[in-house]
Structure 1
Amino acid sequence: MTDAGNGAWLDDEAGRLVRPYTVTSGRTRSEVHFDLLSLVMATGRRPTTYLGPDCDQVLDLCGARPITVAEVAAHLHLPASITKVLLSDLVGHRALTTQAPRPIEAASPTDRIILEAVLDGLRKRI
C-alpha cells in the first residue's frame, strides 16, 4: 500500500481504497456547472474549513497552471462527477476560479479549400 503523495491511500493492485462517493459524503451533483474542458485555477485563498486530502491535491494541481476538469479527475483517480463536486466545493470557498471552454468557431470558407487541397494530395498518393 502506498500513499500517492496526495493523501489518498492507494493499493498498488486494488487501486483506491476509499470509495469515490465517500470523498464527497455521498454527494454526486456539483452546485457549479463544469464542462470536462472547463479550466480551473487556484486563487491563492485557502478554504476556511478543512475539506480533505483530495481538495488539498486539487489546490496543488491548480496552483501551478490552469488545468481542465478532466485532467484533475485523472490525477485524482476519481470519476469526473465526483471531481466536479470537489471543485464546486472549492469554488464555493473562493479557493478556485473556473473558466468555461471557448466555443469552437464555425469553419471559415478557406478551411474547405485547405481540406480539399489535402484530400487531393492524399488521392494522388494512393
Structure 2
Amino acid sequence: MSDPTHQAPHPHHYFDADAGPVVRPYAMTRGRTSSTTVHHRLDLIALVVAEPDAGHPAHDQSLSPEHVEIVERCLESSQSIAELAAGLDLPVGVVRVLVGDLVEDSLVHVTRPVPPAELPDVSILREVINGLRAL
C-alpha cells in the first residue's frame, strides 16, 4: 500500500534552474570533430580575426548562437582559440569546428603565430639595440 504522505519527486527535481538550456557539444558541431574546409591546424594560440565585412552576424539566421558569439568577440579584438574556448566555456575541439565553419563562410580568418625557428636571434636584436645606442 502506498504512503499518501510520500510525494513522488517533481520531474524536474534534478535540474538546476540557473543552468539554462543544456546543449551537448556534439549537437553544436552536428557530430563533426573537424571542419572540412580548414586545411591548416587550428592551434590553441592561433589568432581568430573577424573579417572587416563580417557586419552584424546576429542577423544571419544560418549561424548558431555560438558562431555569432565567436564573431562578435573577434570583432572587438582578435582572440586565440584558447581564449575563445575559455570565454565561451566550450571544449577546444568544439571551438575549432565552429571557427572552421566561420572560416568557410568568410566571416573570420585565422593567423598563425610566427614559429620560434623563424624569429630573429636574441643576440642579433641586442647587437641592433647596442648599435642604435652608439649612434
Fold equivalence (TM over 0.5): yes
Distance 2:17 2:73 in 1: 22
Match of 1:6 in 2: none
Choose 1 or 2 for highest CA Rg: 2
Equivalent in 38, 43, 58 of residue 35 of structure 1 = 43
Residue segments in structure 2 that go unaligned for 5+ positions in a row: 1-15, 124-135
Aligned residue pairs: how many?
A: 101
Q: Note if contact 1:39-1:100 (Cα within 8 Å) is conserved in structure 2.
A: yes
* % identical aligned pairs: 36
* TM superposition score normalised by structure 1: 0.68
Task: Tell me which amino acid in the other structure corresponds to 2:69.
Answer: Q
**1:27-74 deviations in whole A, cap 9, x for unaligned?**
111232211100011103257661210000001110011110000111
1:96-111 alignment runs, 5 A limit: 96-105=108-117, 108=121, 110=123
Distance 2:17 2:103 in 1: 30
Runs (4+) of structure 1 exceeding 4 A deviation are 46-49, 105-110
Match of 1:59 in 2: 71
Distance 1:24 1:53 in 2: 12
Q: Secondary structure at the match of 1:34?
A: coil
Task: Tell me which amino acid in the other structure corresponds to 2:23.
Answer: V
Match of 2:91 in 1: 79
* Matching of residue 45 in structure 1 with residue 17 in structure 2: no
Task: Tell me which amino acid in the other structure corresponds to 2:28.
Answer: V
Distance 2:64 2:20 in 1: 19
Larger strand proportion of the pair: 1
Task: Tell me which amino acid in the other structure corresponds to 2:44.
Answer: L
Residue segments in structure 1 that go unaligned for 5+ positions in a row: 1-9, 111-126
Task: Tell me which amino acid in the other structure corresponds to 2:92.
Answer: A
* TM superposition score normalised by structure 2: 0.64
Q: Secondary structure at the match of 1:61?
A: helix
Match of 2:7 in 1: none
Distance 1:71 1:36 in 2: 8
